[in-house]
Chain A
Amino acid sequence: MTRRPPLLEVQDLSVRYPAARRFPWWKSRSNAAVDHVSFDIAPGETLGLVGESGSGKSTVGRAILGLQRISAGTIRCDDVHITDAGRKVPRSYRRRVQAVFQDPYGSLNPTMIVADLVGEPLALHTDLPRSTRTERVVELLEMVGLRSRHLSRHPYQFSGGQQQRIAIARALALEPALIILDEPVSSLDVSIQSQVINVLEQVQAKTGVSYLFIAHDLAVVRHISARIAVMYRGRIVEEGEADRVCEKPEHPYSQLLLSSILNVDLRDQAQRRAYRHELAASFRRQEPTVDQ
């Protein structure tokens, strides 16, 4: 399978947080949250990024969104580079790259109504007249399975799954080329989780948007991604086609991650548990601090 030239290219990205200094005269050091990470995403493609909490997944996402100072490396989306640490991200870039976060309620301003939440990006970046804007908002709501009667409601009047749909509609408003999905379904119930994932896939089929899907649940990531990158302690330790990574992982951490997926098939679950114990034991011998 030949891939089209990448839409997003991340090269050698490093993000360092200054380490807390005990005394002012100590030499200032820094911890690498993201350590020489490189990957790319083709137009219309979904890359899954998995890893444990603190492995640097979200920091990668924030760096791409221009919310995070970059210590080294380059990020390019389309023809816009954001390399310059701390500089303001150009407006054209904002239009191209959007985001949906884990906590749907927290990411929607509680004092705004749906029409304004979804219409705000349009008001900021386009000069569409109000009526056209409302039409577009209704179109977006329908795309994520909501209705125009929801326009004048506040976020708290919706369930978590519906709130996440509103957040998706807002992210789609400017027809971005890339959406960073940072754990978009982790806080949702299983039955709602699949609804939202299906909406994401339908939207992608319709608009050709690319996704960076950040999550810790390998089974969900496998379903939605073409390729998967596994992060461990700030580095990408394995990257490959989704099915391959989920069936024959190469790096010991990916193997442990895979074997930790709980299975609803009871017989299978017992077998996997035994396998996982084996793996975990050998993994711990190599890396003494897994549980930290």
Chain B
Amino acid sequence: MTVSPDATVPATSRPDAGPDRDFPGKRSRKMLARFLEQKSAPTAGLFLLAIVAVAVFAPYLAPHPQDAGDLLRPSEMPSVDHWLGTDSLGRDVLSRLMFGARAALLAALVAVSIAVAVGLPLGLVLGYRGGWADRLVMRLAEGVNAMPFLLVAITLIAVLGPGLTKSMVIVGVIYAVMVLRLVRGEVLAAREELYVTGALVVGVGTTRLLWRHVLPNIAPSLIVQVTTMFATSIIVEATLSFLGLGTQPPQASWGNMLADAQASAFDHWFLALPAGFAIMITVLAFNLFGDGLRDLFSRESAGSVLNANAARPLVEGVVEREHSAGSVGGDGDPLMSVRRLSVSFPARPSSDERIDVVTEVSFDIGRRRVIALVGESGSGKSVTAMALLGLVPDPGRVTAETIGFDGRELTGANERELRAIRAREIGVIFQDPLKALNPAFTIGTQMTESMRVVEGMSKRDARIRAAELLDMVRIDRAADRLDDYPHQFSGGMAQRVMIAMALSSSPKLLVADEPTTALDVTVQSDILDLLRDLQAETGMSMLIITHDQGVVADIADDLMVMYAGELVEVGTVEKVFEEPRHPYTAGLLASVPRNRRREGTLPSIPGTVPALDELGPGCRFGARCPFVVDRCREPVDLVGLGDGAVRCVRAPERLALGDADIWSGR
């Protein structure tokens, strides 16, 4: 990591100095590596490769011809000469199995090729163009889809006469309808993407737009669908051949081998096994392979809150260092006291290596205080708040020396205890209020649900209470609006509802994660006014997460600044805004656009936030800091200073950090 600012280029035009997210290495190579990390999918892939080889080279590999047998040696059990025995006509089962693979794969190939060749272009064009042609084809497709698919195939074959190629063409056409629906749906979604608009703006034509821009983006789901189609094709081929509609004897197929076996099931039970296993294993391999691809393409492995992880006590026990915390303001003992809270996630899905996204964070939340947590996107603000609530989703791991809340210890608490605390003592509101409300239920239903479940209120009482709450957050005609659905509320109104719900149990702490970010400025001010008044009325404490210094100035008493997972400065808003002691805080404050006459370029912090997996041992802000010195390469502690704390080796020097010139690259 380079820790010297690039002094020759003005800060504003300097190419980003921070380490990049990723190295230029080929994406495909990485994907391959990730694919190999999974265990079952590559095995399945190898197996499929082997099957393909056997099918292609069957005439050379098979020890006996598929259609001629020794009628004198029917229905034999496995022997040296016939590894898998012979069938009722004395033909070698192993050889027929090999030729059967040929039939199965060829059939699948025909069906899937037709499906892709027909379904893909049609789906692309119909999805993009829409209009009457789209409506007509979709009606037809729905019709085809509504019928049981095998039944349709059998009916058509009954009309057109049996035969493998014919059958698989028919299956292919039916598959084409599935591909069409999939592609069309994906195109419809992609059409709304901004990059499509962007392509239109630079003048990209329709053909190029579809092939070059849309297709690569829908390819993953298409590939996954195609692998599963291979699997089902194999079953379909076997079924049709079993019924005598597909591969015609004496040609071998797994399906007609099964039919043979069934005919002689009583006197020769073994015959059913080879073909049955072949079908089962091949289908399974295709499915495993498809699953592997799907996992590969879905970038984020979704963690669910249902598997939320509570904080685990830090086992080391001994505190090696005094951990200065942001114990600022508040009367008497703090409401919440957090020491050495860390949260880690796996570096890559399904890898054992873990990365700390929050590193040893310690702070206090005073009673009746509003404390703000600020920092750049990805710095770990939300994860910190989630960790306090025991809501970090599954692959995440939380450790802390202590999370004290109102005299109780939350580390090591079980899910039931945490849920009880969340229900009664800690309220939460999020950034996007309309997403947090369920569009299918009325506001009243959603508000009264927890009152009835948690507090056992009657329906009538709960409604009265809900109306009171809406009234408290200053929604007019509160009682009437209980019967409205979320979409009838504007963003600001919906956020008021969320606040009302969060406050319904009179919590001691309200955690608000970017409560006004999604709102218009005028509405934002109203919501902040409301929060400020409610806080004053109820005397609760508030932890407000934001990246807007204006919000901090407006509502908070105390401030914590987070950078790349660490707290870098803690103090009262007044002190920190007056005289920031950490260069990052100073740069952040300097770059806030202010409503004044313009004077040259805007001050800004050069570079970008470092990736968490590429941090060195030294100061994490080092690569962007104009004040960096050699000492900054050593680990830097959060050190108490005045009634706050700072993580900077040069803090005692009282440098002129806020000087606009430094941050304007002058």
Interface assignment of A257: CB less than 8 Å from any CB of chain B: yes
Contact B595 A261 (CB under 8 A): yes
**Which of B8-16, B98-106, B142-150, B252-260 forms part of the interface with chain A?**
B8-16
Residues of A within 8 A of B415 (CB): none
- Quick one: which of B201, B213, B551, B577 contacts A65, CB cutoff 8 A? B201
Interface assignment of B22: CB less than 8 Å from any CB of chain A: yes
Interface assignment of B567: CB less than 8 Å from any CB of chain A: no
- Quick one: which of B203, B492, B587, B609 contacts A91, CB cutoff 8 A? B203
Interface assignment of B515: CB less than 8 Å from any CB of chain A: no
Within 8 A of B (CB), among A146-205: 146-147, 149, 152-154, 156-162, 167, 170, 173-174, 189-195, 197-199, 201-202
- Quick one: which of B522, B549, B551 contacts A290, CB cutoff 8 A? B522
Taken residue by residue from 138 to 164, chain B's Cβ proximity to chain A (1 for < 8 Å, 0 otherwise) reads as: 000000000000000000000000000
Contact A149 B490 (CB under 8 A): no
Query: Are A202 and B591 CB-contacts (below 8 A) given A94-B201, A262-B554?
Result: no
Within 8 A of A (CB), among B569-619: 573-574, 577, 587-589, 591-598, 601-606, 608-609
Interface assignment of B520: CB less than 8 Å from any CB of chain A: yes
Residues of B within 8 A of A173 (CB): 202
Interface assignment of A40: CB less than 8 Å from any CB of chain B: no
Complex formed: what's the CA distance from A258 to B522 in Å?
Answer: 9
Number of A interface residues, CB 8 Å? 80
**Interface of chain B, main secondary structure:** helix
**Which of B110-118, B189-197, B241-249 forms part of the interface with chain A?**
B189-197
- Quick one: which of B15, B198, B597 contacts A108, CB cutoff 8 A? B198
Interface assignment of A13: CB less than 8 Å from any CB of chain B: no
- Give the Cβ gap from B417 to chain A, nearest Cβ, in Å: 36
- Give the Cβ gap from A271 to chain B, nearest Cβ, in Å: 12
Complex formed: what's the CA distance from A207 to B212 in Å?
Answer: 30
Query: Are A190 and B201 CB-contacts (below 8 A) given A106-B195, A158-B21?
Result: no
- Give the Cβ gap from B468 to chain A, nearest Cβ, in Å: 20
- Give the Cβ gap from A145 to chain B, nearest Cβ, in Å: 5
Q: How large is the interface on B (under 10, 10 to 19, 20 to 34, 35 or more residues)?
A: 35 or more
Within 8 A of B (CB), among A208-223: 216-220, 222-223
Contact B13 A202 (CB under 8 A): yes
Minimal Cβ-Cβ distance residue in A for B547: A189
Minimal Cβ-Cβ distance residue in A for B216: A111
Taken residue by residue from 252 to 268, chain A's Cβ proximity to chain B (1 for < 8 Å, 0 otherwise) reads as: 00001110111111100
Contact A159 B609 (CB under 8 A): yes
Interface assignment of B493: CB less than 8 Å from any CB of chain A: yes
Interface assignment of A47: CB less than 8 Å from any CB of chain B: no
Contact B595 A198 (CB under 8 A): no
- Give the Cβ gap from B620 to chain A, nearest Cβ, in Å: 14
Given contacts A67-B200, A125-B203, A262-B521, list 15 more A-B pairs with CB under 8 A.
A99-B201, A101-B194, A153-B24, A157-B21, A194-B12, A194-B593, A195-B605, A222-B593, A223-B593, A257-B521, A260-B522, A263-B595, A264-B553, A276-B525, A290-B522
List B residues at the A interface (Cβ < 8 Å): 12-16, 20-22, 24, 27, 193-195, 197-204, 208, 212-213, 216-217, 219, 376-377, 490-493, 520-526, 528-529, 547-554, 573-574, 577, 587-589, 591-598, 601-606, 608-609
